[in-house]
Amino acid sequence: MKDNIITLDHGSGGKLSDQLIRSVFLKYFNNPILNQLHDGAVLPPTDKKIALSTDSYTISPLFFSGGNIGHLAIHGTVNDVAMCGGRPKYLSTSFIIEEGVSIEILEQITCSMAEAAKKAGVNVVTGDTKVVNKGDVDGIFINTTGIGYIDLDVNINANQAREGDIMIVNGPIGNHGISILASRENLQLDQVISSDTAPLSDLVYQMLSVTKEIHVLRDPTRGGLATALNEIAQSSKVEIEIEEEKIPIQEMVKDTCEILGYDPLYLANEGKLIAFVPERHAEKILKKMKNCQYGEQSKIIGRVVSEDRSEVYLRTDIGGKRVIGMLSGQQLPRIC
Amino acid sequence: MKDNIITLDHGSGGKLSDQLIRSVFLKYFNNPILNQLHDGAVLPPTDKKIALSTDSYTISPLFFSGGNIGHLAIHGTVNDVAMCGGRPKYLSTSFIIEEGVSIEILEQITCSMAEAAKKAGVNVVTGDTKVVNKGDVDGIFINTTGIGYIDLDVNINANQAREGDIMIVNGPIGNHGISILASRENLQLDQVISSDTAPLSDLVYQMLSVTKEIHVLRDPTRGGLATALNEIAQSSKVEIEIEEEKIPIQEMVKDTCEILGYDPLYLANEGKLIAFVPERHAEKILKKMKNCQYGEQSKIIGRVVSEDRSEVYLRTDIGGKRVIGMLSGQQLPRIC
């Protein structure tokens, strides 16, 4: 049934490309800007600052417990825009598809993207499709690039952490990494561990409704919490202390990490953020976060102790102090 | 020499990723916004309309006569923004790299991108890098997404062609397609045919300085001139006539097409545009184009004859009339 699979002709820019765009992409992403099928989208002017962020998603396997590459492609970019303090508005999307992929799979992923986009309040307004020879990619790669609007008085940046800042994380870490590992290696766990993939834009919007004075936001994806904190410590030139006993990790994730020798601090997350906020606003922000869909399990996990040096350390359960570096090498490739 | 090749660790989000970003990408793309290494770029507000366009480049081979994938990745997206009437300002870029690719090759491509971006007046302000297993991609894929500013009184769209509009092309067609074919198949041609890859943003800017009343702009890439005209005929619901004897094609390209059985009307271009303009402005715009770097060989090649139906036909040298459809199937895969 040649009709049900993607062929090189679907990427030719000719008749079959046009058919694929209309029967799959327009069907799900349907909106007035995209429907024009212009070379690009034309968007209205804005008196706000513009956040621009891009990511290519190459995750293997395409489907995993808790979602698929389509969810990631929307959430990941929406979250990066949100980490700039931006309210995501528009996305571009670009597919690189291996010939032989079934159109049903492509539709399923596109449908997930459309649902995720709707939930996150963004529209896919322009796109591109390439088809490459069998063997040249592993199924489907997706790039999304996002545009969001930032209020003029918001100034969130990895270099804005200050002595005394309190660090909040919006829930347990490590689930995405373990979920991908389990799906890929067919691990038989007692309980299914699902990816935490989720859009964080509304959570950030709610946090900013408490105060615009949020210093840093970051989503600890590849490289995990430890790497994200190190990047912030370097950009802001600050010393960060996190408290081991306060870091939320599900028992099941902790156990699996122990058996397999992973450190949850370095595992990828796709629905988590860390916020650095001035101490005087911390409790109010935390309270607001706990009332949000993706923030119920928010916790304060540490603080900026000085502006003397760039370092991240862990205060351990038994009172010790361990320096936490960036991820060196990799725990698990292609987790996003 | 493991140090000289890309490994999976370079895509981990950890230390080696950081090193790669600093030693290659920041070195060439160096600008204040990118250098912040935030999750996204923060851009100033604008009182103009915003053009957003995306493309993934999967061309094989990576290097060809007249350029490499890096030139294409900049020119292609800059041109798509320009075809919306936008002045390109900012680009995001996302690399998917096969492990084992030499860092030298990556640097060479990045350097070409930086040069092309400088020439086109755009800055690469945010990016992403993924590394996939050997065999999972063919070398390097690059996505670029571009943002440009459009004056409020510019309204260029594929659905704006009107009866009486004159069509101008900015030079000979088919060179890119033949150049890629020659590089890929090691064709021994009498003369080297180079790709026409070029940034068209300044040309468009100059055209708009004559009048804002340009109806349609399109760059005939995949699918060639014939497919682009068909898309416009459909969007605008117009009948388009092109005159065979007026279509500029280099002799060498014509001859190679004849030998190999290609139709130049369907060959990809990477530095060409077609403009639909009201007859009263046509001569002035043509004159202005001929004074531009990528417009010296501009020619009027046809016109919109009616708003009765969506059709494109060719008036042949001997006075016949041949309907020209969209590309069906493909002449040549992965030409961009």
pLDDT 10s digits, B177-218: 999 988 888 888 778 899 999 999 999 999 999 999 999 999
Nearest to B329 among A14, A131, A219 (CB): A14
For an interface test with A, the pick among B6, B9, B10, B12 (most A C-beta atoms closer than 10 Å) comes out as B12
Q: Which two tokens stand for residue B91?
A: 């680009």
Residue numbers of B between 153 and 192 with CB closer than 8 Å to A: 157-159
- In whole angstroms, give the CA distance from residue A43 to residue A48: 13
| Tokens 């698990």 -> residue | A332
ipTM exceeding 0.90?
yes
- Written as one letter, the residue type at A99 is E
Alpha-carbon distance B266 to B326, whole Å? 8
CB proximity A310 to B under 8 Å:
no
Coil, strand, or helix at residue A312? strand
Q: Which residue has the tokens 């997930």?
A: A112
Distance of alpha carbon B67 from alpha carbon B264, whole angstroms: 20
Nearest CB among A14, A44, A55 relative to B49 is that of: A44
Dihedral of CA atoms A13, A76, B34, B19 in degrees, nearest 10, equals: -100
- CB-nearest partner of A137 from B131, B136, B147: B136
Please determine, for residue A175, whether its predicted confidence score (pLDDT) is greater than 60.
yes
Mean pLDDT across the stretch A229-252?
A: 96
Confidence of residue A334 (pLDDT cuts 50, 70, 90): confident
Q: How high is the pLDDT of residue A167? A: 98
A93 φ/ψ angles, rounded to the nearest 5 degrees:
-140, 140
Which position has the token pair 């919109």? Answer: B304
Is the Cα dihedral B224, B230, B235, B240 positive or negative?
positive
Q: Check CB contact under 8 Å for B125 and A235.
A: no
Distance, in Å, from the CA atom of B160 to the CA atom of B156, rounded to the nearest integer, reads 7
- pLDDT for B2 equals 57
The whole-angstrom separation of Cα A157 and Cα B42 is: 10
Residue B76 sits at φ, ψ, to 5 deg, of -60, -45
Q: How much is the pTM?
A: 0.95
In angstroms, the first-to-last Cα distance of chain B is: 32
Spatial distance between the Cα atoms of A165 and A241, rounded to a whole number of angstroms: 11
Looking at residue A1, its pLDDT comes to 41
Q: Crossing angle for the helix pair B103-120 and B69-83, nearest 10 degrees?
A: 30
pLDDT in the model for residue B330: 66
Kindly tell me if the per-residue pLDDT of A147 is higher than 70.
yes
Query: What whole-number distance in Å separates Cα of residue B86 and Cα of residue B205?
Result: 8
The pLDDT tens digits for A24-79 are 999 999 999 998 888 899 999 999 999 999 999 999 999 999 999 999 999 999 99
Residue A91 pLDDT > 50, yes or no?
yes
**pLDDT value at A2 more than 60:** no
Q: What are phi and psi of A160, to 5 degrees?
A: -100, 5
Asked whether B140 and B96 are in contact (CB, 8 A), the reply is: yes
Q: Which two tokens stand for residue B11?
A: 């895509």
Residues 6+ apart with CB under 8 A from A326: A223, A226, A227, A230, A231, B14, B15, B18
Could you say which of B15, B55, B136 has the minimum Cβ distance to residue A327? B15
| Pairing mode, strands A239-243 and A311-315 | parallel
- Cα dihedral A40, A41, A44, A48 sign: negative
B276 chain-A contacts, CB cut-off 8 A: none
Answer whether B53's CB lies under 8 Å from B92's CB. no
Is B48 near chain A, with CB under 8 Å? yes
Which residues of chain A neighbour B93 with C-beta distances below 8 Å?
54
Q: Would you call A42 and B58 a contact, using CB atoms and an 8 Å cutoff?
A: no
Q: In the structure encoding, which two tokens stand for residue A25, read together?
A: 């992409």
| Lowest-pLDDT range of A179-193, A207-221, A288-302, B254-268 | A179-193
pLDDT (average), residues A151-167: 97
- Which parts of chain B have pLDDT scores under 50? 1
> Residue B284 belongs to what H/E stretch?
helix B279-290
CA distances (Å), origin A209, targets A86, A139, A205, A281: 13, 41, 6, 12
Give the integer Cα–Cα distance in Å for A205 and A121: 12
Q: Which pLDDT does position A109 carry in this prediction?
A: 98
Give the Cα separation of A65 and A73 in Å (integer). 16
Give the nearest partner residue to A130 out of B56, B126, B329, using CB atoms.
B56
User: B321 pairs with which residues across the strands?
Assistant: B315
Mean pLDDT across chain A, nearest whole number? 94
Please list every residue in chain B whose beta carbon sits closer than 8 Å to the beta carbon of residue A143: 54, 56, 94, 143, 145
At B289, list the tokens: 């184009």
Between chains, do A58 and B15 touch, taking CB under 8 Å as contact? no
3-state secondary structure (DSSP) of residue B164:
coil
The C-alpha atoms of residue B206 and residue A277 are separated, in whole angstroms, by 48
Instruction: Please answer yes or no on whether B138 and A141 come within 8 Å at the CB atom.
Output: no
Least confident of A42-56, A154-168, A187-201: A187-201
Residues B219, B273 contacting (CB under 8 angstroms): yes
Using a CB–CB cutoff of 8 Å, tell me whether A58 touches chain B. Answer: yes
Count A/B contacts: CB-CB distance under 8 Å.
292
